[in-house]
A and B are shown apart, each in its own frame.
Chain A
Amino acid sequence: MESDELLIQPSSAEPIYRQIAQQLRRLIASGRLSPGEEIPSVRDVAGSHAINPMTVSRAYGQLEAEGLLERRRGKGMVVATQRGRAQSTDRRLQQLQPQLDELARQARELGLSAESVLERLRVLLEADQ
């Protein structure tokens, strides 16, 4: 994985450390980052996005505490071998819950039917495959 694959939006209401942690959680949950795989160093991520290295460390520290990442001597951080395998559909859906709540709220405000929103969503999801 390259550090510029992370998407960082400094002006988002979500703190940068959480943006990083969430993206890595999703990549690990889906299995796109496999157990033992090295993730970019704090310096690489901070340098390529011009963000504070402490912010990156905080995200990595949190994932390490959750058991998703491990510190390897001489290698930096890698995806944990124990829990790094893909998680159940339920667990992965759980991670999308805040975004789904927000989508549902906005759809209701706009008076959109469930069918029309789901149809758009399906097109988006399938277009990416």
Chain B
Amino acid sequence: MNAVSAPETIDPQESAVICRNIHKRFGGRKVLDDVSLSIPKGAVLGLIGSNGAGKTTLMRILVGLLMPESGSAMLLGEPALQMTDASKTRLGYVPQQPDALNWMTVESMLQFVGSFYPRWDSEYMWNCLMRWNIPPSQGLAKLSPGERQRVALIRVLASCPELLILDEPASALDPVARRDFLREIALRAGEAGMTVLFSTHIVSDLERVASHVCFLHEGRLLLDTAMDDLKETHARLSLSREAAVGLSKPLPGEIARRRRPDGGVSIVLTRRGLAPWPSAATASGGTLEAMNLEDLFIEITDQPGAAWFLK
């Protein structure tokens, strides 16, 4: 089950988000370069990328706040730039620095915003405000960045969206609020079928709740897989400088290779399912080891011209 699949295999009924061949440039600099992805309903897709990789731009295009140069984005079955008001109530979006309606108090803002949403859950809202220690009568402008982010998450979760798009949602949360928030996302996705797209550079958050993972690097999507498969189908072969001499040609299933500072070589291999690793790898004299998400991200992006092995 890939989050990004060939366009002809995508069923619009089964996908909450479909975008195709998105290009975007700012001042001549390519920010997004031919990005296509689809997110099946009920999936939690984690978008990992370093700062400046294009995550925020992609999300702004998806929610219709920014026009791509070319390419198309569909959300909940409608073009992102022409969503009806009714569909917008099924969408939740939290930007990285939420600062709308700053002159209002927490309570008045939440009640004002809530009046636009037919499925607004006041009980959830009050519970969360208490649990996360937010004084309801406080002015939004006087909140700390962490509190401001918590209020934004309460706002979006209380609206009970079918599709939730979050830009670095947990970056300013303390550990307790972060765990609460991850639990809420995981349970709503798994039980109510809510679809979630969230970007982060905190990889461990993603390893808990994501069902799918994408790497965005220098404006291109480098990898997209179901989370469980990702760890089972990728491994790192580490070779000493001497052992690497005999392996100048790419190995079967090789997707990335980099030279380490000590002169040795790290190779990332993929396989289908749980098929055995290629014998050339096991016989090379190097060590073959499974990787977590962070290792994999570094191996794949930390090399010149990392985008060469697209898909």
Contact = CB atoms under 8 A, between A and B. Distances in A.
B290 A54 contact: no
A53 B232 contact: no
B209 A51 contact: yes
A32 to B, nearest CB: 26
A20 to B, nearest CB: 11
A58 B204 contact: no
B292 A52 contact: no
B186 to A, nearest CB: 5
Given A51-B208, A52-B210, A14 B231 contact: yes
Contacts of B187: 43, 46-47, 53
Contact of A13 (B186, B209, B291): B291
A16 interface: yes
Could you say which interface size class chain B belongs to? 20 to 34
B289 interface: yes
Interface in A1-27: 10-18
Contact of A50 (B186, B203, B227, B232): B186
Q: What is the interface of chain B mostly: helix, strand, loop, or mixed?
A: helix
A48 to B, nearest CB: 8
Interface string B179-215: 1001100110111000000000001100111110000
A66 to B, nearest CB: 15
A30 interface: no
Contacts, number: 68
Nearest to B291: A13
Interface string B28-64: 0000000000000000100000000000000000000
A47 B181 CA distance: 11
A12 B228 contact: no
A15 B208 contact: no
B292 A50 contact: no
Given A50-B183, A52-B186, A53-B187, A11 B204 contact: yes
Given A11-B207, A15-B231, A16-B228, A54 B294 contact: no
Interface in A45-85: 46-47, 49-55, 57-58
Interface centre among B182, B183, B190 (most CB of A within 10 A): B190
Taking residues whose C-beta sits less than 8 angstroms from the other chain, chain A's interface range is 20 to 34
Given A43-B191, A52-B44, A55-B228, A11 B292 contact: yes
Contacts of A17: 228
A41 B234 CA distance: 31
Contacts of A14: 231, 290
Nearest to A12: B292
A15 B227 contact: yes
Contacts of A53: 186-187, 189-191
A50 B294 CA distance: 19
Given A13-B290, A14-B290, A55-B228, A50 B208 contact: yes
Interface in B93-145: none
A27 B56 CA distance: 45
A49 B208 contact: yes
A52 B210 CA distance: 7
A46 B228 contact: no
7 contacts: A11-B207, A11-B293, A13-B231, A46-B186, A51-B208, A53-B187, A58-B228
Given A10-B208, A50-B186, A53-B186, 10 more contacts: A11-B292, A11-B294, A15-B227, A46-B183, A47-B187, A52-B210, A52-B211, A54-B211, A55-B227, A105-B287
Interface of A: 10-18, 42-43, 46-47, 49-55, 57-58, 105
Top 7 closest pairs, chain A to chain B, by CB: A53-B190, A13-B290, A10-B207, A50-B183, A15-B228, A50-B182, A10-B208
